[in-house]
Chain A
Amino acid sequence: MADGSHALLLDRGNLKRRNRVNRVVEIGSSIGAVIAVAVLVIVVGSVVLKGAGALSWHFLTTPSGLFGDTSGGMANALVGTLVIVAIAAAIAIPVGILVAIYTTEFASSRFAHPIGFVLDVLNGVPTIITGIFVYGLLVAGNKPSGFAGSVALAIVMLPIVARTAQEVLTLVPATLKEAAHALGIARWRTILRITVPTAAGGLITGSLLAVARAAGETAPLLLCNFIFAQGVLTDPGEGLASIPLFIFQSSESPSPEAHTQAWAAALVLIAFVLVLNVVARAFYARSRKRMGA
């Protein structure tokens, strides 16, 4: 008996090899994780190192100077991006949330699945294609404008908003909808008063992530909003300056001062995106907690 159990305990078989494989996989995946974090740290770090020096109140509040004049700042680009992204958000967020409500509350799975697939494809469309499409639609035969840029960015944002909204709306416990139905509360009212408020945190998360993505999109703006004045403008019917194009143009300039300005603007953009991401995470955590309760 004792011999038998000893044999069982001492028999190593291929355990050695299995331990080795285990080790390799563990080290490999740890290295992968370190690389991912390192890339972010290096990108953010280099932007901070090269851009922080040129960042000043003056830089943020003064419009950019004419060709090669680097005494100005990025105020026009900052305001332009805010206007363009705000309009894009005003288009994409309601439509995206409605799409998600349709697929989670009304559509049978025969329709919901294809719509989900279409949204994924739309999310994968290169933004230069979206830009060309909107160029043909709104700019060709007309003129480039901030609004055309907004439409292009709205198309980029739509699948992000809709997909995340779908995800959180399906997380709303069925028991809540059941409770509402059992009280004789109509379906649309249940959606407006119970489902959407319960999922609100997650809906905000998706919207913020989409805004963060749109704020940095360059290709659609290159095509739809490429001529703009140097002053601070807010009329979306005109061409508007934007942060991505400010970075693009400044980095194309031969002047080293312009390069530094490009880094500073990049720092502003990346800070904006990071802050939005952190806030979005906080809303998501809150929303999950509420739905778990």
Chain B
Amino acid sequence: MHNQNPTEATAMTEPNPEQQSRQEAGAPAPLAAAAEQPPAPRRDRDVGELELRGLRAFYGGNEAVKGIDLPFKANDVTAIIGPSGCGKSTMVRCINRMHEEIAGARAEGEVLLDGLDLYDSRIDIVAVRRAVGMVFQKPNPFPTMSVLDNVTAGLRLTGASRGEMDDRARQALVGAGLWEEVKNRLKSPGVGLSGGQQQRLCIARALAVEPEVLLMDEPCSALDPVATLKIEELIAELKQRVTIVIVTHNMQQAARVADTTVFMLDGELVEVGPTEKLFTTPDDDRTEQYVTGKFG
């Protein structure tokens, strides 16, 4: 994976060249400067291509995902919709290999990130989790940590220096649209924030390790409409930087945020297409019935 993506690989181990030149230029407060500008698109269009090939997922003998082939375009937001229990969460959890954390669960098939199979035996699971970030249904900041420590929690492994970590944390908080709200309370507990802020904190935590793909498993289901709107606006900005896959129960949300929408039923992929087409002129009868509220 790193071979395919040299910029990402170096970013994890060495100081970012961009960052370095900024410091050499003698900018008085590079951190503050970074904080005030909106995050720039930081990668080429062709990095972050994700593709599922013949993906099957099992819980013991029960097959939850039944052979899915599906490409995800880089810098696109793809929404996965479908009724409860259709396997959409399971499928997404196969992408960062969280599925196999459950006892008795396993997956078959390939998950290709920029052409490299994430299930390849040469790939460490830690590297998979850094390349593919995840945001969960309920905001889950670490309760013993401050706002800042929450964001840097995933960075500590890399041996980054304190200053470097703070810098990345600030960029991540800016990226998650949370910087202005928390810049004066970075040291206070993360769980002291509101629900919506906590979820954006979790997004910042995932962004801090600079993943190529961001998985969001019903990220707004525990939030009020205002907080939901903020997250949706954020998703639109973040797609410049990461490939986003969002599982949602809410069809309006899919229609608002997604470029491509995927409809799943009983572990199978029923239809995939541009969001507008899927919601207005779907090819499959089952899709039409679902998006028009006949079942689900």
**Residues of A bordering B, CB below 8 Å:** 108, 173, 175-176, 178-186, 189, 193-194, 197-198, 200, 290-291, 293
Q: Nearest 7 CB-CB pairs, A to B?
A: A184-B129, A183-B154, A182-B134, A197-B144, A184-B126, A175-B140, A184-B130
Can you list 5 A-B pairs with a CB-CB distance of less than 8 A?
A178-B140, A182-B98, A185-B157, A291-B143, A293-B191
- Which of B127, B133, B153, B209 contacts A180, CB < 8 Å? B153
Whole-angstrom distance between the Cβ of A210 and the nearest chain B Cβ: 23
Contacts A181-B129, A183-B205 known; list 20 others, CB within 8 Å.
A173-B140, A175-B140, A178-B101, A179-B136, A179-B202, A182-B98, A182-B129, A182-B134, A182-B136, A183-B129, A183-B130, A183-B133, A184-B125, A184-B209, A185-B157, A193-B153, A197-B144, A198-B144, A290-B143, A293-B143
Whole-angstrom distance between the Cβ of B233 and the nearest chain A Cβ: 23
Within 8 A of A (CB), among B126-171: 126-130, 133-134, 136, 138, 140, 142-144, 153-154, 157
- Which of A108, A189, A194 contacts B142, CB < 8 Å? A194
Task: Give the A-B contact count at a CB cut-off of 8 A.
Answer: 65
Alpha-carbon distance A291/B140, docked complex (angstroms): 11
Contact B209 A179 (CB under 8 A): no
B243 within 8 A of A: no
Contact B140 A290 (CB under 8 A): no
Query: What residue of chain B has the Cβ atom nearest to residue A181's Cβ?
Result: B101
Whole-angstrom distance between the Cβ of A178 and the nearest chain B Cβ: 7
B1 within 8 A of A: no
B79 within 8 A of A: no
- Which of A178, A185, A186, A291 contacts B153, CB < 8 Å? A185
B55 within 8 A of A: no
Whole-angstrom distance between the Cβ of A253 and the nearest chain B Cβ: 52
Whole-angstrom distance between the Cβ of A116 and the nearest chain B Cβ: 18
Contact A186 B126 (CB under 8 A): yes
Query: What residue of chain A has the Cβ atom nearest to residue B189's Cβ?
Result: A293
